[in-house]
Structure 1
Amino acid sequence: MTLTFNPDKYKELLTAYLPKLIKSEVENEQALKIVEDLMHRERTPEEDELYHLLITLIEKFEQEYYQPSQQNNPVSMLLFILDESERSRDDLVAVLGTEDLVDNILNGQQKINTEQARKLGEFFHIESSLFMK
């Protein structure tokens, strides 16, 4: 028996998950969690459609955000080093001062200035210029 696509069920899924263009690491992580959940079960045709849509959105975000051709993307570098060092966002708050500042930097709404780059370099024991564009 072939399962048929039900637009009403798909509309319910879209309403529940509200997929949209991914613009931050936080949104990317949320989408990845949904994809991982869907990946490990037998999907309905509607869930499969949502699964492929989210994968497309994640790939688009990651290609733009982690693009290897970008010589120096300070936020990508910061996220990579944060992940590799097994440090947390809270550690960044302790180094840089406020949650709002860290959120703005990680979401690309604010650039890392020279003093912040120096502090990050000292914290991670790496060259501060990695955090400058």
Structure 2
Amino acid sequence: MKTTVDIERLVHCWEPLENLFHIRTRDEYENAVKILNMLLDRVMDDQSHPLFGFVETLGTVIEAWEEEHESVPPVSGKEMLRFLMDQHNLRQSDLPEVGSQGVVSEILAGNRSLNLRQIQALARRFGVLKHIFL
């Protein structure tokens, strides 16, 4: 299969996205995170969505910037969930947006990962950015 690329159209599409993929400042980083959160709201975990690869790529770029510029040690999604539960004095059964008490238990034990629907619900509940659970 032969693929042709319209370079002028590619340049036109690339210019507004360039700062997302070459994050140099805190403002650019915060903008990229904001856009990633909007994309996650739309794409969720639908791997067939046309923007799914874009979400993965942008997430990787943001993660690389954070590793280079943030001094906070990396925390897993389950560790962040456990921390927020402790801070808000919640039990596993207090999180119906994640699933049953058994589902929450499996996540906290590391036997199950948070999916994008759960991440979005937790971000809304705790008023935090979605990427802290990734």
Q: Report the TM-score, using the length of structure 1 for normalisation.
A: 0.43
Greater C-alpha Rg: 1
